[in-house]
Amino acid sequence: MTGAQVSAITRAPSGDLLRVQATESSGSTLTCDTDLVLVVVGVRPDAGLAAAAGATLGVKGAIEVDEYMRTSLPDVYAAGDCVVTHHRLLGTTWLPLGTTAHKQGRIAGEHSAETAGSGAVSGPRS
């Protein structure tokens, strides 16, 4: 069942199954019992702030960054689900994954710390 709007997922009276209540794209309501519910939702990179500041956007509207996570804006780094990924097999793509975001954050932090000593501004200072 695709394109449906789910209104509830509850335990069926039998206790062994899940009961799904939904409205199909045609407008008809549907109730069905199942042993598995797979919810797939779309995500998009939230790059509006960077775009408004003049950053270059890349694949699927994600912020374009180099291998050190530098954006096209001077002294601005970005990492996580809002940026493109430089993947060895896939090339430049967009992969909104926690493991990828973690690695990107580490790269951005390490590189910005290295360049901070050279007079570059890498972010807010306390």
Condensed to tens digits (0 to 9), the pLDDT of residues 69-99 reads 999 999 999 999 999 999 899 999 998 888 8
Question: Where are the alpha helices (H) located in 19-85, listed in sequence order?
Answer: 48-52
Task: Using CB atoms within 10 Å of the CB of residue 4, give its burial: 0 to 12 exposed, 13 to 18 middle, 19+ buried.
Answer: middle
Q: Quick check: 89 and 114 in contact, CB under 8 A? A: no
Residue 84 neighbours by CB under 8 Å, 6+ apart: 58, 59, 62, 63, 64, 65, 92, 93, 94
Query: In this predicted structure, what is the pLDDT of residue 117?
Result: 64
Question: Residue 123: inside a domain, yes or no?
Answer: no
Question: Residue 39: inside a domain, yes or no?
Answer: no
Query: In this predicted structure, what is the pLDDT of residue 118?
Result: 57
Query: What tokens were used for 50?
Result: 């960077």
Question: Residue 54: inside a domain, yes or no?
Answer: yes
Task: For the chain, list residues with pLDDT below 50.
Answer: 120-126
Count of the separate structural domains present in the chain = 2
- State the average pLDDT for the chain: 88
